[in-house]
Amino acid sequence: MTTTPSADSIYLPVEDALRRTLHNEVHARPQASISMPALVLYVAVFNEGVTREQECEHLRLLPGQQSLEPDQMHGNFMRLHLDGYTLKWERHSEFTRYSLVYPTPSLALENGSRADLMDLVRLPPHWLQSIPGRTIAAIRLVMLHGDLNDATGTMVQAQQWFGEYPLVASLMGSNGHSCAVTDFMLRPDGFEHILVIAPQNTSQTRAGRVSQRLLELETYRLMALRGLPLVKELGPMLHQSERELADITTSLENKSAADQELLDTLVSLSARVERTTATHMYRFSATRAYQALVAQRIVELREKPFSGMQTIGEFMQRRLSPAMATVAATAQRLTSLSERVARASSLLRTRVDIAAELQNQQLLAKLTRGQELQLHLQTTVEGLSIAAISYYVISLLLYGAKALKAGGVPVNPELAVGALIPVVLWGVWSATRRIHKSVVMLTQKDEPKAGHPPSR
């Protein structure tokens, strides 16, 4: 890895190339400051297939941002100070968030209808609607001053704004510095509503932290639930695959199917399971990560019950936990199915190996029997060879004796050759044995000794 000298390297070694990038990561998304009362308009969209350049082009449509360049967005965070409001842009791995903060008169928030709130939003026509991406979360967060000691009056004020839906409310902070009220319902215009009521002395940084935690909590909740439709989609496939695996295992146990047939079925099942795992395991992992973030944000709220109502954390626990348990169980089910398919494959492979070993033993037995027959035949042939060679030698000797007799040598050819028959047989047999021993010695000499490579 390349290194670069530090600007203040007089006391330090050469600086690692990633040091400043890693150090500045904690400052990449500075905390927002919100002056209450305020309206926060929040939209989160999936950015799959959406480039940073496209998002930059969309931000250029805002007044005074025509000179905005994609290089200014490489930190995945940017805050724009516009005419009377601010916009915060954040790009994450799967989604991009747009947060618009409008400091507004308290009277407009307390007495205005939901339609009146959108009249406060000053944006180019259809700017929100044309944000590149697909909407995953859209929230109108209203932050008002109020008296938290008057719980009844606060809830009456909240109920007027939310309407007839049942509410969820939490008193946040160890000292109860603010109250959050919501109903987690989508309005006809696609927005959720969250109301935050805090005392007059609430600081801008605290208001920014509260809004950020609530907005992130709802976004991460929806992102965590992305795994639930997938679970419902995979249910029939997993059920069918488990039945096929059970049938394969039964066939292995009863030996009721040919190995090649079982192998083809098992390979098809294994490929299907592995393809499903490779395609969807990321979503299961992301669901666990988002679930952990939801739990973390709930802990950071340090919520307490307000006016005897169900808290946000209790609502999440009752509504989100079953879905997350279902997703986790399906992920474990898929992993377990993959492991069981691997075990079945190992069993089938063992069965095939044993069958092959038996076939090899039978073939070796046949080869051994053939070698024994060949050796017996070779011994017989050697005996016949000795007899044939001896016959030709004796015939030659007989012809030689007859020639001597014809030449006047006093010899009886038949008697002389007959006396030499044992000597000839013994000589031929001895010569054959010597040749056989020489061939064996040459063969043993050419074989490599144990632990030594063959000579070249």
- Please check whether residue 37 lies inside any domain of the structure: yes
The angle formed by the CA atoms of residues 130, 135 and 139, to the nearest 5 degrees, is 100
- Pair 71, 21 in one domain: no
Q: CA 38, CA 36: separation in Å to the nearest integer?
A: 5
E-only strand ranges, 227-382 = 304-305
**Shared domain check, 251 and 182:** no
Please indicate, yes or no, whether residues 329 and 378 belong to a single structural domain of this protein: no
Cβ atoms of 41 and 99 closer than 8 Å: yes
Q: Is residue 387 part of a domain?
A: yes
Residue 299 lies in a domain: yes
Give the residue from 360, 387, 405 where a domain finishes: 360
Question: Does residue 271 fall inside a structural domain?
Answer: yes
Q: Does residue 445 sit within a domain?
A: no
For residue 147, give the nearest of 110, 199, 194, 106 by alpha carbon: 199
pLDDT tens for the chain, 456 residues long, are 444 444 556 788 888 888 887 777 776 667 778 888 899 999 999 999 999 999 999 999 999 889 999 888 877 888 898 888 899 999 998 999 999 998 876 655 555 455 567 777 788 888 999 999 999 999 999 988 888 888 787 787 778 778 777 889 889 888 888 899 998 989 888 899 999 988 888 899 999 999 999 999 999 999 999 999 999 999 899 999 889 888 888 887 777 677 777 888 888 888 888 898 888 889 999 999 999 999 999 998 898 888 778 899 898 888 888 999 999 999 999 998 888 888 888 877 777 777 778 888 888 888 888 777 777 777 777 777 777 787 788 888 777 877 877 877 787 877 877 787 888 778 877 887 787 777 667 766 665 554 455 544
Does 72 share its domain with 112? Answer: yes
The residue type of 351 is: R
Q: Is residue 381 part of a domain?
A: yes
Number of domains, the chain:
4
For residue 212, being part of any structural domain is answered with no
For residue 182, count other CB atoms closer than 10 A to its CB. 23
Q: Is the bond preceding 37 in cis, omega lying within 30 degrees of 0?
A: yes
Q: Which of 224, 231, 230 is nearest to 295 (CA)?
A: 224
> Rounded to the nearest 5 degrees, what angle is found at the Cα of 44, between the Cα atoms of 31 and 146?
55
Compute the distance between CA of residue 326 and CA of residue 225 in angstroms, rounded to an integer. 10
Q: Are residues 18 and 58 in the same domain?
A: no
Looking at the structure, do residues 176 and 38 belong to the same domain, yes or no?
Answer: yes
In this structure, the answer to whether residues 233 and 346 fall within a common structural domain is yes
Same domain, 71 and 147: yes
Instruction: Judge residue 412's burial from the number of C-beta atoms within 10 Å of its C-beta, 0-12 exposed, 13-18 middle, 19 or more buried.
Output: exposed
Q: Are residues 193 and 253 in the same domain?
A: no
One domain, residues 55 and 162: yes
Instruction: Confirm whether 211 is domain-assigned.
Output: no
Where are the strands (E) in 183-266, listed by range? 192-198
The contacts of residue 81 (CB under 8 Å, 6+ apart) are none
Does one domain contain both 36 and 158? yes
Domain check: are 143 and 243 in the same one?
no
Decide which of 332, 360, 388 is a domain's last residue.
360
21: containing domain? 1-25
Boundary (domain end) residue, out of 202, 237, 268: 202
Residue 4's pLDDT is 47
